[in-house]
C-alpha cells in the first residue's frame, strides 16, 4: 500500500515553541533570544507562563544543562547556556527563517537551468510567516531560456519541491521573464511595489538592477 508523504508547515515566528510545545518551549524561546540574566518573574512575564509553572520548569532546564542558575539574593537569576550541545539545536531553531532563506538560494546552484533572480516576498520576507503561511517567491527566467523549455520546467519544479520539503510550507511561485521585470516594477501594482520594497534576494541579480536593463 502506498501513500503520500506529508510535512508539517513550519512556524517561523515561533519555531522553538512549535517543536518544543508547552511551557518549556515558551520559556526556552525567551531565554535563547537573550544573553541577559533573568529572574523568575521576568521569565514568566516574557514567556506568558505562570510564575508557579515557571518555578517548576526552571529546575528541570537547569538539570538538563541548557540553563544555568546564579544566586543573587533576594532572588535567583537564570541564563541560557549557548555552548551546551542541546542549546545549539535550540539556537538553530531560533534562526530557522534565516537558514531557510540561505538554503533556498543554495539549492538553485544545483540546477542545470538557473534563474536570473530568486526573490522571496510576503510573510517569510517580513519575518511574519507562521504555520499557515505560504512561501511566496518570484523566479526570474533568463532571456536565453524559453518558457516551455523542458529542462527549465523540470528544474523549477525540482527546486519548488526541495523548498517545500525544506520548510514544510507550501511554495507559491510567480515566474516572470527577465525582460518583463522593468515593466512590472514600474507598473504601480501593489504586489510589485511590495516585492520591490520588502523582497529578499536569495539568488542572482537584484530586481533593482534588472529594472535598469533595457529590453533586448
How is the chain split into domains, by residue range? 15-92, 95-211
- So what's the pLDDT on residue 213? 67
d(CA 19, CA 205) in angstroms, rounded, equals: 35
- 4 pLDDT band, cuts 50/70/90, is low
**Closest by Cα among 170, 152, 167 to 111:** 152
Mean pLDDT of 141-146: 96
E strand or H helix at 106, and its extent? helix 96-108
- So what's the pLDDT on residue 32? 96
Q: What angle, 0 to 180 degrees and rounded to 10, lies between the N-to-C axes of helices 85-94 and 96-108?
A: 70
- So what's the pLDDT on residue 9? 83
d(CA 75, CA 180) in angstroms, rounded, equals: 63
- 216 pLDDT band, cuts 50/70/90, is very low
CATH architecture of the domain with residue range 15-92: Orthogonal Bundle (1.10)
SS3 per-residue string spanning 38-78: EEHHHHHHHHCCCHHHHHHHHHHHHHHCCEEEEEECCEEEE
Dump pLDDT digits (tens) for 54-98.
Answer: 999 999 999 999 999 999 998 899 999 999 999 999 999 999 999
- So what's the pLDDT on residue 194? 95
Mean pLDDT of 16-36: 94
- So what's the pLDDT on residue 1? 44
- So what's the pLDDT on residue 212? 76
CATH of 95-211, one of 3.30.2010.10, 3.30.200.20, 1.10.1740.10, 3.30.460.10: 3.30.460.10
- So what's the pLDDT on residue 5? 54
d(CA 211, CA 184) in angstroms, rounded, equals: 9
Is the bond preceding residue 79 a cis peptide, omega within 30 degrees? no
Mean pLDDT of 117-138: 96
Amino acid at each position: 500500500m502506498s501513500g503520500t508523504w506529508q510535512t508539517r508547515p513550519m512556524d517561523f515566528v515561533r519555531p522553538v515553541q512549535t517543536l518544543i510545545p508547552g511551557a518549556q518551549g515558551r520559556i526556552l524561546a525567551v531565554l535563547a533570544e537573550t544573553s541577559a540574566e533573568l529572574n523568575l518573574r521576568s521569565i514568566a512575564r516574557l514567556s506568558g507562563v505562570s510564575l508557579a509553572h515557571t518555578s517548576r520548569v526552571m529546575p528541570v532546564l537547569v538539570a538538563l544543562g541548557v540553563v544555568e542558575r546564579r544566586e543573587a539574593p533576594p532572588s535567583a537569576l537564570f541564563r541560557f547556556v549557548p555552548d551546551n550541545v542541546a542549546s545549539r539545536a535550540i539556537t538553530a531553531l531560533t534562526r530557522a527563517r534565516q537558514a531557510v532563506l540561505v538554503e533556498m538560494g543554495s539549492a538553485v546552484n544545483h540546477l542545470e537551468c538557473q534563474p536570473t533572480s530568486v526573490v522571496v516576498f510576503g510573510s517569510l520576507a517580513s519575518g511574519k510567516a507562521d504555520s499557515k503561511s505560504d512561501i511566496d517567491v518570484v523566479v526570474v527566467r533568463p532571456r536565453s531560456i524559453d518558457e516551455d523549455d523542458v529542462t527549465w520546467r523540470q528544474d523549477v519544479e525540482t527546486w519548488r519541491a526541495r523548498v517545500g520539503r525544506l520548510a514544510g510550507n507550501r511554495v507559491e511561485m510567480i515566474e516572470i521573464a527577465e525582460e518583463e521585470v522593468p515593466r512590472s516594477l514600474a507598473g504601480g501594482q501593489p504586489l510589485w511595489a511590495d516585492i520591490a520594497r520588502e523582497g529578499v534576494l536569495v539568488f542572482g541579480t537584484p530586481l533593482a538592477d534588472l529594472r535598469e536593463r533595457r529590453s533586448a
